[in-house]
Amino acid sequence: MLIRQAVPEDNQALCRMELLAPQGSDIRITENRRNFFFKSSMFPDNELLVIENEKTGQLISVMAYAPMDFRIGGETVRAAYMFDWRTNPEAQRGIDRTMLRLWLTLQDHARAKGARFIFGHVKSDNNRAISIYDRVGTRTEGTRRFFTLPVFHKMPADLDVQIDTKIDAIQDYHEMEQVFADHDMWPLMDNPALRQESYDKYLCAKISKGSTSCKIWDVSHEYDRIVMGVPRLYRTIRPLCNALGKIIALPKIPASGDSIKIWSLFDLVLPEGESPVPLLRTANNMALKAKVDYLVVSVDLAQGSH
């Protein structure tokens, strides 16, 4: 087995690996990427590593990381953000062993770039990845919960809500820095031009009302989200909902094979006592107009941030 950096010629094989690895326990969804490298390209310094079977040329696993500087306890600390860890379900044997080997290699590379630790996100039902994390001594530092909001009817508009579709990345960074000043792991911006490029490409809008605000992120032009499996209950009630949906507004219940469009809401600034409802209503109405099926909002359960 050979561990090497991924190259553009690997794109088709990596996209297929992603497509064949649906995630989720109830509704299983996979991503049909056009360019597997799009996420790593958002970071000024990144490395995408693959394990290749030298005899067959088959890619077995992939893992990416980006070394970044953070403010932790008032100190600047370099850490490595790990992402895009996938395995090839078509590989026959030794998946766990190769995944562990890839992790240890990434750890060495990250350490050589000055990272003091590696961090990332893993879904609570991804038992294979969690077992490997446990073997290398990782620990859980926080939990995020994701809420999915169906988009299916227009909501009452709030005229006081402001919508900005052109965001200055540097100004926004400093505004968020003030809001989240008490949070550890604040990333230090080292490439304003690249950050602005990502904003221009993926940020639909910043919605604000008074001291509350949130941003809408859309990467749907980079990949299609395809439903690979739904619970039996959903399959049972779907025909009835489809029929009634022609008369009244009802949420979309996807079938296996359906493509769904999702917008992500992030950087939700919500001072104590304020309500997110005006922001969510506005985001819903924008999503409805753009034919988006669902909004996703994540909440940090440890710190209560979004």
The three-state DSSP-derived secondary structure of 166-196 is: CCCHHHHHHHHHHHCCCCCCEECCCCHHHHH
Q: How far apart are CA 95 and CA 302, in angstroms?
A: 33
260 CB contacts (<8 Å, ≥6 apart)? Answer: 29, 225, 226, 227, 252, 254, 293, 294
Of 84-88, 95-99, 219-223, 295-299, the least confident: 95-99
What pLDDT, on a 0 to 100 scale, did the predictor assign at position 92?
63
What pLDDT, on a 0 to 100 scale, did the predictor assign at position 100?
85
What pLDDT, on a 0 to 100 scale, did the predictor assign at position 24?
74
| DSSP structure string for 181-234 | TT-S-EEPP--HHHHHHHHHHHEEEEEEETTEEEEEE--TTTEEEEEEE--HHH
Q: How far apart are CA 288 and CA 294, in angstroms?
A: 9
What pLDDT, on a 0 to 100 scale, did the predictor assign at position 22?
84
What pLDDT, on a 0 to 100 scale, did the predictor assign at position 98?
82
Which CATH code for domain 2-141? 3.40.630.30
**What is this structure's pTM?**
0.88
The one-character DSSP state at 250 is -
Neighbours of 69 (CB within 10 A): 16
Average pLDDT over residues 23-29: 80
Residue 201 has pLDDT above 60, yes or no: yes
Radius of gyration of the chain, Cα coordinates, nearest whole angstrom: 21
What pLDDT, on a 0 to 100 scale, did the predictor assign at position 298?
87
Average pLDDT over residues 284-297: 96
Residue 140 has pLDDT above 90, yes or no: no
* 2-141 matches 146-220+261-300 in fold: yes
CATH superfamily of the domain spanning 146-220+261-300 = Gcn5-related N-acetyltransferase (GNAT) (3.40.630.30)
Amino acid letter for position 97: R
Mean pLDDT, the chain, as a whole number?
90
Average pLDDT over residues 167-175: 95
Q: How far apart are CA 88 and CA 98, in angstroms?
A: 11
Residue 305 has pLDDT above 70, yes or no: no
Looking at per-residue confidence, does 49 or 253 come out higher? 49
Average pLDDT over residues 2-28: 90
User: pLDDT tier at 190 (50, 70, 90 boundaries)?
Assistant: confident
Q: Domain-by-domain residue ranges, the chain?
A: 2-141, 146-220+261-300
Is the alpha carbon torsion for 55, 92, 30, 49 positive or negative? negative
Q: How far apart are CA 178 and CA 134, in angstroms?
A: 35
pLDDT digits (tens, 9 = 90+) for 50-95: 999 988 999 999 999 999 999 998 899 999 999 998 888 887 666 7
What pLDDT, on a 0 to 100 scale, did the predictor assign at position 76?
94
What pLDDT, on a 0 to 100 scale, did the predictor assign at position 37?
96
Q: How far apart are CA 306 and CA 303, in angstroms?
A: 9
